[in-house]
Amino acid sequence: MNTTAKTKRAVKTVDRVARKQPTVGARIVEGLEQAITWTRGENADVRVTLVHVPDVDVREVRTKMGLSQAQFATKFGFPPATLRNWEQGRSRPDAPTRVLLAVIAKHPEAVEDVLRKAS
């Protein structure tokens, strides 16, 4: 193959690569830049999704299930001391834990099933 044909092929390849979607890394950087702009309060054209994380009365959930603190903690994998602190108001479950507690409140059997299969 002569040099001219190789050059034309290389140019076509470069053109194709240049038209491709941005890389994953470039998209992550763009997203981070948008997040920084948004947190500064600047008018950025970004999409923001806010999710309401429910507050859950852990004691109410536990007592409705008829379980002691130790039983509830063991069944769902919480440290008993942490459960006591939540119930006594000394600390509060973080957002992901509140989501889990909301699922336990509505569908405890689903969480039990997942935990049973995991062990």
> Checking phi first, is residue 92 left (phi over 0); if not, alpha (psi -120 to 50) or beta?
beta
Measured CA to CA, the distance from residue 96 to residue 12 in angstroms comes to: 49
Measured from the Cβ of residue 34, the count of other Cβ atoms closer than 10 Å reads 15
User: How long, in residues, is the chain?
Assistant: 119
Q: Are 76 and 86 in contact (CB under 8 A)?
A: no
Domains of the chain plus CATH, in order, are: 3-39 (no CATH), 58-118 (1.10.260.40)
Indicate whether 105 pLDDT > 90: yes
What does pTM read for this prediction? 0.60
Q: List phi, psi (to 5°) of 105.
A: -65, -40
**What pLDDT shows up at residue 83?**
97
Indicate whether 110 pLDDT > 70: yes
pLDDT, tens digit, for every residue of 43-69? 767 777 788 899 999 999 999 999 999
